[in-house]
Structure 1
Amino acid sequence: MRTKHLLRSSALVGVMAAAFATSVQAQEETGGREIEEIVVTAQKREQSLQDVPIVVTSVSGELLRDAGVRDIRELTVLTPGLTVTSTSNETIVTARVRGVGTVGDNPGLESSVGVVIDGVYRPRNGVSFGDLGEVTRIEVLKGPQGTLFGKNTSAGVINIITAGPTEDVQAQSEVTVGDYEQFGFSGSLSGPITEGVTGRIFAAARQRNGYQDIITGPGPRGQHDDNNQNFYTVRGQLQFEPTDDITFRLIGDYTKRNEDCCVGTQLFVGQGLAGQPGRGQMIDAVRPGSLDLTSTPFDRLGYANRPTDQRVEDRGVSGELTWRLAPGMSLTSITAWRKWNAETGQDSDFTAADLVYRPNDGSNNVQFKQFSQELRLAGDAMDGRLNWLVGGFYAEEDLDTRSVLSYGTDYYAYYAGRVLGGAPALIGLVPGTVFQPGAGSDDRYAQDGKSWALFTNNSFAITDALELTVGLRYTKDKKTLVTDYSTTGSSCDQGEAAFPILVGAVGAATATRIAGGLCLNSQNNDFDELGLLTQKRTEEEVTGTAKLAYRWNDDIMTYASYSRGYKAGGFNLDREQLITLTPAGTPNFTADPDTSFGGEFVDSYELGAKTSWLDNSLLLNAAVFYQKFEDFQLNTFVGTAFVVETLPKVTSRGVDVDFIYLPPIDGLTFQGGVTYAETEIGDFTAADLINPTRFTSLRRLPGAQLSFAPRWSASLAGSYERDVFSGLKLRANLSGKFTSRYNTGSDLHPVKEQDSMVLVNGRIGIGAQDESWTVELWANNLFDKEYVQVGFNGPYQVDEAVDAISVYDAFLGAPRTVGATLRFRY
Structure 2
Amino acid sequence: MCSPTEISLFRFDKRILTVAITGALFSGLGFSAASHANQIEEVSVTAQKREQSVNDIGVSASAFGGEQMENLGIDSAVDLGAHTPGLVTVNSTSGGTPIFAIRGIGLDDFSPNNSSGVGIYTDEVFASNPAFLGGQLFDIERVEVLKGPQGTLYGKNTTGGAINFITRKPSSEFEAYVDVGIGNYNAKELTGVVSGEVAGEVLGRVSVQMSRADGWQKDVDTGREFGGTDRAAARGQLIFPFAGNGEAIAKVYVTTDKSTPVSPQVSGLAEAFGDPSFAVLNSAEDATRVSVGDLNVGRDESGHGASLNLSYGFENFDFISISAVDSYDREVVDNYGGSAAAILDLYQDNSISQWSQEFRVVSAGDGPVTWIAGINISEDQVDVTDRFDDSFFVTDSVASTFVLDPTDVPVQGWDLLTASYEQVTRSYGAYLHTETALNDSLNLIAGVRYSNDKRSFDGISTNHDDVYSFNDTIAELNDSSSESAVTGKLGLDWQLKDDLLLYANVANSYKGGAYYGAAILDDISWAYVAPEKVLSYEAGFKATLFDASLQLNGAVFSLDYTDRQSLVTIIVDDFSNYLQFPVADTTLVNVPESKTQGFELDMHWLPTDNLTLIAGIAYLDSEVTSAPGTADMRGIAADPSGNDMADGVSQLFVDALAAPLPAGAALSQSPEWSYNGLAAYDLPIGSDLNLRLQTSYSHSDEMTAQLADTNALSGPVSSWDAEAALSDTAEQWRFSAWVKNIGDEDGETYAFSSFAGRSFYRQMPTIYGVSVKYNFY
Which TM-score applies when normalising by structure 1? Answer: 0.84
Aligned to 2:695: 734
Seen in structure 2, the aligned counterparts of structure 1 residues 165 and 576 have a Cα distance that, compared at 3 Å, is same
Secondary structure of residue in 1 paired with 2:462: coil
Q: Does the Cα contact within 8 Å between 1:91 and 1:127 map onto a contact in 2?
A: no
Alignment of 1:163-202 (within 5 A): 163-202=168-207
2:518 counterpart of 1:574 = yes
Of 368, 371, 387, 2:370 maps to 387
Seen in structure 2, the aligned counterparts of structure 1 residues 685 and 236 have a Cα distance that, compared at 3 Å, is closer
Q: Aligned-pair distance for 1:607?
A: 1.1
Secondary structure of residue in 2 paired with 1:259: coil
Aligned to 1:586: none
Q: Does the Cα contact within 8 Å between 1:146 and 1:564 map onto a contact in 2?
A: no
Q: Does the Cα contact within 8 Å between 1:30 and 1:617 map onto a contact in 2?
A: no
Alignment of 1:294-309 (within 5 A): 296-304=284-292, 305-309=294-298
Deviates more, 1:629-638 or 1:347-356: 347-356
Of 269, 274, 286, 1:281 maps to 274
Secondary structure of residue in 2 paired with 1:343: strand
CA distance in 2, matches of 1:645, 1:352: 32
Secondary structure of residue in 1 paired with 2:198: strand
Output the amino acid matched with 1:753.
L
Of 569, 573, 596, 1:652 maps to 596
CA distance in 2, matches of 1:415, 1:682: 45
2:559 counterpart of 1:627 = yes
Deviates more, 1:711-720 or 1:229-238: 711-720
Seen in structure 2, the aligned counterparts of structure 1 residues 21 and 706 have a Cα distance that, compared at 3 Å, is closer
Aligned to 1:668: 611
Aligned to 1:365: 349
Q: Does the Cα contact within 8 Å between 1:269 and 1:293 map onto a contact in 2?
A: no
Q: Aligned-pair distance for 1:90?
A: 2.3
Q: Aligned-pair distance for 1:319?
A: 0.6
Alignment of 1:245-284 (within 5 A): 245-266=245-266, 268-269=267-268, 278-282=271-275, 284=276
Seen in structure 2, the aligned counterparts of structure 1 residues 152 and 685 have a Cα distance that, compared at 3 Å, is closer
- Counting aligned pairs with the same residue, the percent is 23
Output the amino acid matched with 1:320.
N
Seen in structure 2, the aligned counterparts of structure 1 residues 200 and 325 have a Cα distance that, compared at 3 Å, is same
Secondary structure of residue in 2 paired with 1:50: helix
Q: Aligned-pair distance for 1:256?
A: 0.2
Deviation per CA, 1:690-743: give whole Å up to 9, x if none: 538489478355212223311111122233323214522212322221223333
Of 326, 344, 364, 2:332 maps to 344
Alignment of 1:143-542 (within 5 A): 143-215=148-220, 224-242=224-242, 244-266=244-266, 268-269=267-268, 278-282=271-275, 284=276, 288=277, 290-292=278-280, 296-304=284-292, 305-326=294-315, 328-358=316-346, 364-380=348-364, 383-408=366-391, 411-413=394-396, 416-424=399-407, 434=413, 440-489=416-465, 525=472, 527=474, 530=476, 533-542=477-486
Output the amino acid matched with 1:465.
S
Q: Aligned-pair distance for 1:417?
A: 1.8
Secondary structure of residue in 2 paired with 1:337: strand
Output the amino acid matched with 2:52.
Q
Q: Does the Cα contact within 8 Å between 1:93 and 1:129 map onto a contact in 2?
A: no
Deviation per CA, 1:296-343: give whole Å up to 9, x if none: 3534211113122111111110010111011x4100110000001110
Output the amino acid matched with 2:178.
S
Secondary structure of residue in 2 paired with 1:705: coil
Deviation per CA, 1:34-61: give whole Å up to 9, x if none: 2233322221222222221110011111
CA distance in 2, matches of 1:294, 1:42: 44
CA distance in 2, matches of 1:184, 1:762: 19
CA distance in 1, matches of 2:384, 2:244: 46
Deviation per CA, 1:362-411: give whole Å up to 9, x if none: xx311111000111001146x42111111100111011001123343664
Output the amino acid matched with 2:771.
T
Q: Does the Cα contact within 8 Å between 1:258 and 1:310 map onto a contact in 2?
A: yes
Secondary structure of residue in 2 paired with 1:261: coil
CA distance in 2, matches of 1:552, 1:36: 22
Aligned to 2:538: 606
CA distance in 2, matches of 1:149, 1:653: 24
Seen in structure 2, the aligned counterparts of structure 1 residues 356 and 617 have a Cα distance that, compared at 3 Å, is closer
Seen in structure 2, the aligned counterparts of structure 1 residues 20 and 123 have a Cα distance that, compared at 3 Å, is closer
Q: Aligned-pair distance for 1:421?
A: 2.0
CA distance in 1, matches of 2:144, 2:397: 50
Q: Aligned-pair distance for 1:574?
A: 2.7
Output the amino acid matched with 1:9.
I
Aligned to 2:103: 98
Aligned to 1:705: 666
CA distance in 1, matches of 2:47, 2:187: 37
2:743 counterpart of 1:811 = no
Output the amino acid matched with 2:401.
R
Q: Aligned-pair distance for 1:147?
A: 2.2
Secondary structure of residue in 2 paired with 1:548: strand
Q: Does the Cα contact within 8 Å between 2:181 and 2:188 map onto a contact in 1?
A: yes
2:705 counterpart of 1:773 = no
Give the aligned CA root-mean-square deviation in angstroms.
Answer: 2.7
Which TM-score applies when normalising by structure 2? Answer: 0.89
Of 731, 736, 761, 2:721 maps to 761
2:489 counterpart of 1:545 = yes
CA distance in 1, matches of 2:504, 2:746: 40
Aligned to 2:57: 52
Q: Does the Cα contact within 8 Å between 2:264 and 2:760 map onto a contact in 1?
A: yes
2:128 counterpart of 1:123 = yes
Output the amino acid matched with 1:59.
F
Q: Aligned-pair distance for 1:524?
A: 9.8
Q: Does the Cα contact within 8 Å between 1:707 and 1:748 map onto a contact in 2?
A: no
Secondary structure of residue in 1 paired with 2:286: helix
Larger Rg belongs to: 1
Q: Does the Cα contact within 8 Å between 1:136 and 1:163 map onto a contact in 2?
A: yes
